[in-house]
């Protein structure tokens, strides 16, 4: 899968060269291209922003350099061109899964007070927000999207690791333990060392239900509406006091 990121600050993306994403790039499973929007500015100062019409605080990203950058990267193809913006649709695990089906994404990092609306109207196909808060720019948000989407690309992470993690099917993930069996007086749940795989699976499912009830009961309501909870799940939740 290919990611192209348009930014005023390419140096912020060093974390994409670490850990799992580094290995995925080395293996050729994903590719990440960084493009400095200033490279398409035409003045000697490489100016990419200007004061807003109508007055007001801050600066606005200029239309011409950004539009030229997008067109140069996209050329004659038509990949989704996504603006990272607090105005966009909320980024969720479901949306990450949807985007992971695409062979190519172009991510545009806004900055300052935003970008010239005319570029938004003519060249941006989708806007995504990673939360109801405002960052200094879209760079951190772009890294979040790349990380969340790339790990769902086949070959980046073992599929079994993704199957039951938080938000994959409407529930939070179950607790994890590793050696030693007892740490500071706290023992690993006996069921996990019993060797009874069926009972372990049952325990994990119940822990997912319990944890979701305690931390995110809103997710349980959605999971029930979407048919993700069976009669055994609902019975166990009733035992825990969930009234739905």
Reported as a single tens digit per residue, the pLDDT across 174-216 is 999 999 999 999 999 999 999 999 999 999 999 999 999 999 9
- 3 state SS of 166: coil
Query: Does residue 131 have a known ligand-binding role?
Result: yes
Phi, psi torsion values for 24, nearest 5 degrees: -65, -35
| Per-residue model confidence as pLDDT tens digits over 4-61 | 999 999 999 999 999 999 999 999 999 999 999 999 999 999 999 999 999 999 999 9
Mean pLDDT for 70-78 is 95
Is 241 among the annotated ligand-binding positions? no
For each of the domains in the chain, give its residue range(s) and CATH number, in order of start: 2-159 (3.40.1280.10), 164-239 (1.10.1270.20)
- Per-residue pLDDT averaged across 58-70, rounded? 97
**Which of 47-61, 101-115, 161-175 has the least mean pLDDT?**
161-175
155 is in an annotated binding site: no
DSSP 8-state symbol, 137: B
Mean pLDDT of the chain: 95
pLDDT at residue 164 in the model: 64
The separation between CA 103 and the C-alpha centre of its own chain, rounded to angstroms, equals 16
> CA 53 to CA 50: how far, in whole Å?
9
In this structure, are residues 22 and 146 in contact, taking their beta carbons and an 8 Å threshold? Answer: no
pLDDT at residue 222, as a whole number: 93
Q: Model pTM?
A: 0.90
Per DSSP bridges, beta strands 104-109 and 2-7 are parallel
Q: Is the pLDDT of residue 168 over 80?
A: no
What's the mean pLDDT in 124-151?
97
For residue 63, pLDDT over 70 is answered with yes
**Alpha-carbon distance 163 to 148, whole Å?**
14
The structure tokens 């007070």 sit at 113
Do the Cβ atoms of 100 and 147 come closer than 8 Å? no
Distance (Å, whole) CA 121 – CA 104: 21
C-alpha dist (Å) from residue 76 to 72, 79, 82, 104, 126: 9, 10, 17, 13, 18
* Confidence label for 244 from pLDDT (cuts 50, 70 and 90): confident
Q: What is the pLDDT of residue 161?
A: 67
- What is the C-alpha to C-alpha distance for residues 111 and 55, in angstroms, rounded to an integer? 18
Are 8 and 36 contacting, i.e. CB atoms less than 8 angstroms apart?
A: yes
Residue 145 is labelled as binding a ligand = no
Q: According to the annotation, is 134 in a ligand binding site?
A: yes
Task: Tell whether 133 is in a known binding site.
Answer: yes
Length of the chain, please?
244
Percent of the chain with pLDDT over 90: 92
Question: Does the annotation flag 130 for ligand binding?
Answer: yes
Question: What pLDDT, on the 0 to 100 scale, is given for residue 169?
Answer: 85
Roughly how many angstroms between the first and final C-alpha of the chain, as a whole number?
A: 40
């Amino acid at each position: 899968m290919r990611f192209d990121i348009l930014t005023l600050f390419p140096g912020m993306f060093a974390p994409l060269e670490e850990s799992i994403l580094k290995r995925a790039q080395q293996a050729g499973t994903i590719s990440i291209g960084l493009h400095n929007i200033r490279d398409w500015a035409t003045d000697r100062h490489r100016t990419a922003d200007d004061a807003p019409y109508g007055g007001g605080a801050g600066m606005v990203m200029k239309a011409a350099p950004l539009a030229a950058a997008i067109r140069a990267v996209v050329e004659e193809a038509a990949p989704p061109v996504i603006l990272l913006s607090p105005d966009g649709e909320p980024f969720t695990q479901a949306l990450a899964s949807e985007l992971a089906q695409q062979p190519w994404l172009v991510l545009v990092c806004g900055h300052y007070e935003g970008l010239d609306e005319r570029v938004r109207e003519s060249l941006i196909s989708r806007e995504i927000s990673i939360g109801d808060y405002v960052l200094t720019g879209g760079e951190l948000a772009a890294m979040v999207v790349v990380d969340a989407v790339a790990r769902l690309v086949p070959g980046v992470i073992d599929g079994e690791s993704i199957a039951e993690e938080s938000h994959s099917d409407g529930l939070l993930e179950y607790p994890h333990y590793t050696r030693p069996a007892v740490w500071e007086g706290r023992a690993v749940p006996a069921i996990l060392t019993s060797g009874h795989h069926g009972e372990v699976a049952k325990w994990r499912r119940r822990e997912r239900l319990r944890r979701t009830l305690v931390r995110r009961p809103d997710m349980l309501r959605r999971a029930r509406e979407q048919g993700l909870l069976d009669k055994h799940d609902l019975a166990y939740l009733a035992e825990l006091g969930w009234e739905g």
